[in-house]
Structure 1
Amino acid sequence: MIHSARRCSATLPACAVSLFVLAAAGRAGAADCALEQQGEGRVAAVIDTRSLRLEDGREIRLAGIARGGADRPSGRAALAAIAAGREVTLRGDDDTPDRYGRQGAFVFVAGSEHSVQSELLRRGEALASVDIADKNCAAALATAERAARDAKLGMWAEATAIKNAESPGDILSAIGHFAVVEGRVLSVRQVGAITYLNFGRNWTRDFAATISRRIIPAFESANLGPKSLENRRIRVRGVVSSRGGPRIELLRVGQVEVLGGT
């Protein structure tokens, strides 16, 4: 039986949670999320790394998993190994299907305390997104992804898993896809309502992360004001677009991870 769920009523910046800042602040050991139950069923098919179909016909999109790893054959195989043919419980904030009829949820195989999402991330077969409002869920995903990254498992064994901000050509190959980019912010410039974190000196060719004026207060509240990031080495994640050079628009604090050193 599917239960109704409360919706997140906060504004976008306030509702979004920093996956990596929270983890670094001491939530690395947080347990997987325990959101409201949204139903259950048996997995009939694995569609891709982020999607399952249940025997009753419902298509489930794995919440918290970015589309960057959805085309990996090994990712789909890993999801099948974890969940295919298994009884699962769905948990989340809302069971309303998206415009494609897919229900977003955290999926738990019967008898497991860890979500299917965490298992995929722990194997290095997926990327964590940054749109999860629940703090425990966000921290659990960050911890699982970091463990795989540190151990160089799955995609993290590949040199191209983290894009180099100094190689805009490589980043452009990810246009339209979720990517992780790392580098040093050389300058911070505001043009109209947009602030640019420039990772290169050629503004029309090199990689940049952009922040809309309306989002700035959320970053400042998290001690991540744009000017404070100048000359810092950071890691950003999001969907790559191209407007001259490759760009990632920062809509949530969780898209930014400040790395050690200056």
Structure 2
Amino acid sequence: MLVTASGLTLVPGGIFVPPAAEAALAARLSDLIGQTVGYEIYGHDRYGHALAQIFPSRSGDRSLSAEIVAAGQGAVLPDAIETPCLPELLRIEGEARAASRGLWGSVLRIRQAAEPKLATHAGTLGLIEGRVLSVGNTTTNHYLNFGRNWALDFTVMIPVRDAGSWGAGAPVPEELAGRKVRVRGLLEEWNGALIRAWHPAQIERIDDRD
């Protein structure tokens, strides 16, 4: 995080930085001490810190989040609220991933939904690919099921209240059965491995590329 002269605490938004890259992030933030930066605040985290796109003067129009993602020191993690420059961040991440830059291929990697023991990675960013076997619905949540054993297999939980506000062009949970998707989010251990999806950019249709 970065504290401005006015006492405002800024957090680079829209990204996940794994523990292995925290020292590199700290170094980047330290380099900004005493420097003039631009920033755009678009919300706050649960601690009251301002989620922002921070623009170091050395980088022109490129945000600090984009620098981190481009170096392979972090991956895109859309916030529950809209993240500015999200398509550009995803494009930059794709380039870093394809080039195996930074932590890609080691700490950061794409996993398959059928992999056993996905839940052992709880607390880390999950980039999970697989085919949705079925879709379950309750009054509060949609569930994308990637296996027949709901107590053990990978699942994506989508709050109904959030999916209802995703807008045109966003994935429709009920239409994802049988589709191959890539899901991103924090992995949890809950009846197997679980990702909660609040933002439409967390779910990407990839079967059209097959």
- The answer for the alignment partner of 1:205 in structure 2 is 152
Alignment of 1:22-61 (within 5 A): 51-53=1-3, 59-61=9-11
Q: What is the CA deviation profile of residues 27-56 of structure 1, one whole-angstrom value per residue up to 9, with x for unaligned ones?
A: xxxxxxxxxxxxxxxxxxxxxxxx235577
Aligned to 1:142: 90
Q: How many residues align?
A: 206
| 2:136 counterpart of 1:186 | no
Residue of structure 2 in register with 1:243 after alignment: 190
Q: Deviations over 1:128-183 (max 9, x none)?
A: 12126255x112211211110121111222286122211241x2123233322111
The aligned runs of 1:46-195 (5 Å cut-off) are: 51-53=1-3, 59-66=9-16, 69-73=17-21, 75-77=22-24, 80-81=27-28, 84-85=31-32, 87-93=35-41, 100=47, 102-113=49-60, 114-131=62-79, 133=82, 135=84, 137-158=85-106, 161-169=109-117, 171-195=118-142
- Give per-residue Cα distances to partners, 1:87-130, cap 9 Å, x unaligned: 14131135x87664633322222132211111110111011121
Q: Which whole-Å CA distance do the structure 2 matches of 1:166 and 1:201 have between them?
A: 11
Report the AA paired with residue 176 of structure 2: L
Q: Distance in 2 between matches of 1:99 and 1:227?
A: 30
Contact 1:238 1:255 in 2 (8 A): yes
Read off the aligned partner of 1:120 and give its amino acid letter: I
Letter in 2 for 1:212: P
Question: TM-score, normalised on structure 1?
Answer: 0.67
CA distance in 2 between counterparts of 1:107 and 1:117 reads: 7
Distance 1:85 1:111, change over 3 A: closer
| C-alpha contact (below 8 Å) 2:184/2:203 kept by paired residues | yes
Q: 2:171 aligns with which of 219, 224, 231?
A: 224
What RMSD over aligned residues (CA atoms) do the two structures have, in Å? 2.8
Shift in CA distance, 147/93, structure 1 to aligned 2, threshold 3 Å: same
Q: Give the counterpart letter for 1:93 in structure 2.
A: I
Which has the higher mean CA deviation after the structures are superposed, 212-221 or 226-235?
212-221
Identity %: 29
Which secondary structure does the structure 2 equivalent of 1:111 belong to?
helix
User: In 1, Cα distance between the equivalents of 2:162 and 2:169?
Assistant: 12
Partner SS for 2:15: coil
- AA of the residue aligned to 1:92: E
Alignment partners' CA distance in 2, 1:98 and 1:81: 21
The TM-score, its normalising length taken from structure 2, stands at: 0.82
Deviant stretches of 4+, over 6 Å: none
Asked if 1 retains the 8 angstrom alpha-carbon contact of 2:32 and 2:56, the reply is no
Quick one: which amino acid aligns to residue 172 of structure 2?
Answer: G
Equivalent residue for 1:23? none
